[in-house]
Amino acid sequence: MTTIVIVSHSEAIATGTKSLLNQMAQGVDVIAVGGNQGEIGTSFDEVSEVINQLEEDALCFFDIGSSEMNLDMAIEMYSGQQRVEKVTAPIVEGSFVASVALSTGKSFDEAIEAVYEAYAR
Protein backbone atom coordinates (compact mmCIF):
# COMPACT_ATOMS: atom_id res chain seq x y z
CA MET A 1 0.00 0.00 0.00
CA THR A 2 0.97 3.66 0.12
CA THR A 3 1.97 5.65 3.21
CA ILE A 4 0.75 9.19 3.87
CA VAL A 5 3.40 11.54 5.33
CA ILE A 6 2.21 14.72 7.07
CA VAL A 7 4.83 17.48 7.53
CA SER A 8 3.65 20.45 9.58
CA HIS A 9 5.10 23.32 11.57
CA SER A 10 2.84 22.23 14.39
CA GLU A 11 3.12 18.89 16.15
CA ALA A 12 -0.56 19.22 17.08
CA ILE A 13 -1.62 19.68 13.45
CA ALA A 14 0.51 16.74 12.30
CA THR A 15 -0.68 14.36 15.01
CA GLY A 16 -4.27 15.61 14.83
CA THR A 17 -4.36 15.04 11.08
CA LYS A 18 -2.89 11.57 11.59
CA SER A 19 -5.59 10.82 14.17
CA LEU A 20 -8.33 11.98 11.79
CA LEU A 21 -6.99 9.88 8.92
CA ASN A 22 -6.58 6.80 11.13
CA GLN A 23 -10.23 7.07 12.16
CA MET A 24 -11.65 7.84 8.72
CA ALA A 25 -9.47 5.68 6.47
CA GLN A 26 -8.47 2.63 8.42
CA GLY A 27 -5.65 0.55 7.08
CA VAL A 28 -3.65 3.44 5.62
CA ASP A 29 -0.28 4.02 7.27
CA VAL A 30 0.13 7.67 8.29
CA ILE A 31 3.37 9.22 9.56
CA ALA A 32 3.22 12.60 11.31
CA VAL A 33 6.25 14.89 11.41
CA GLY A 34 5.48 18.12 13.21
CA GLY A 35 7.17 20.86 15.12
CA ASN A 36 10.83 21.20 15.97
CA GLN A 37 12.03 20.26 19.45
CA GLY A 38 8.65 21.04 20.98
CA GLU A 39 8.34 24.40 19.21
CA ILE A 40 6.76 25.60 15.98
CA GLY A 41 8.90 24.80 12.95
CA THR A 42 10.24 21.89 10.98
CA SER A 43 13.48 19.95 11.05
CA PHE A 44 15.13 18.82 7.85
CA ASP A 45 16.81 16.00 9.77
CA GLU A 46 13.48 14.66 11.05
CA VAL A 47 11.78 14.92 7.66
CA SER A 48 14.76 13.30 5.94
CA GLU A 49 14.87 10.48 8.49
CA VAL A 50 11.19 9.69 7.90
CA ILE A 51 11.63 9.72 4.12
CA ASN A 52 14.74 7.54 4.26
CA GLN A 53 13.03 4.94 6.47
CA LEU A 54 9.99 4.47 4.24
CA GLU A 55 9.09 0.87 3.53
CA GLU A 56 6.29 1.76 1.11
CA ASP A 57 5.62 4.37 -1.54
CA ALA A 58 4.54 7.66 0.02
CA LEU A 59 2.36 10.67 -0.68
CA CYS A 60 3.70 13.64 1.28
CA PHE A 61 1.64 16.63 2.40
CA PHE A 62 2.98 19.84 3.95
CA ASP A 63 1.65 23.07 5.37
CA ILE A 64 3.76 26.24 4.96
CA GLY A 65 7.21 27.66 4.34
CA SER A 66 10.06 25.50 5.56
CA SER A 67 7.94 22.36 5.73
CA GLU A 68 7.77 22.42 1.93
CA MET A 69 11.43 23.38 1.61
CA ASN A 70 12.56 20.60 3.98
CA LEU A 71 10.30 18.07 2.27
CA ASP A 72 11.63 19.09 -1.17
CA MET A 73 15.24 18.69 0.01
CA ALA A 74 14.53 15.34 1.68
CA ILE A 75 12.87 13.99 -1.47
CA GLU A 76 15.68 15.36 -3.66
CA MET A 77 18.30 13.63 -1.51
CA TYR A 78 16.33 10.37 -1.18
CA SER A 79 18.02 7.44 -2.90
CA GLY A 80 15.78 4.60 -1.75
CA GLN A 81 13.60 2.33 -3.81
CA GLN A 82 10.19 3.73 -2.86
CA ARG A 83 8.23 6.20 -4.91
CA VAL A 84 7.95 9.42 -2.87
CA GLU A 85 5.82 12.31 -4.14
CA LYS A 86 5.03 15.73 -2.71
CA VAL A 87 1.36 16.56 -3.12
CA THR A 88 0.41 20.24 -3.17
CA ALA A 89 -3.01 20.53 -1.57
CA PRO A 90 -4.47 21.66 1.75
CA ILE A 91 -2.71 19.47 4.33
CA VAL A 92 -5.78 18.15 6.16
CA GLU A 93 -8.24 18.01 3.29
CA GLY A 94 -5.75 16.75 0.71
CA SER A 95 -4.35 14.01 2.90
CA PHE A 96 -7.92 13.02 3.83
CA VAL A 97 -8.94 12.65 0.17
CA ALA A 98 -5.77 10.66 -0.58
CA SER A 99 -6.17 8.35 2.40
CA VAL A 100 -9.83 7.63 1.63
CA ALA A 101 -8.91 6.88 -1.98
CA LEU A 102 -6.18 4.51 -0.85
CA SER A 103 -8.42 2.83 1.73
CA THR A 104 -10.97 2.06 -0.99
CA GLY A 105 -8.41 0.35 -3.20
CA LYS A 106 -7.28 3.20 -5.42
CA SER A 107 -3.70 3.15 -6.68
CA PHE A 108 -0.94 5.63 -5.85
CA ASP A 109 -1.62 7.61 -9.04
CA GLU A 110 -5.40 7.45 -8.60
CA ALA A 111 -5.05 8.84 -5.07
CA ILE A 112 -2.97 11.76 -6.37
CA GLU A 113 -5.53 12.37 -9.12
CA ALA A 114 -8.39 12.33 -6.59
CA VAL A 115 -6.62 15.03 -4.58
CA TYR A 116 -5.97 17.19 -7.62
CA GLU A 117 -9.57 16.76 -8.82
CA ALA A 118 -10.83 17.90 -5.42
CA TYR A 119 -8.34 20.77 -5.12
CA ALA A 120 -7.47 21.96 -8.61
CA ARG A 121 -3.76 22.59 -8.83
User: In DSSP terms, which residues pair with 33 in a beta bridge?
Assistant: 7
Name the catalytic one among 9, 35, 51, 99: 9
Q: Can you tell me the distance from the alpha carbon of 98 to that of 85, in angstroms, rounded to the nearest whole number?
A: 12
Q: Is 102 a catalytic residue?
A: no
- Asked if residue 33 lies in contact with residue 39, where contact means CB atoms within 8 angstroms, the answer is no
20 in helix, strand or coil?
helix
User: What are the residue numbers of the active site?
Assistant: 9
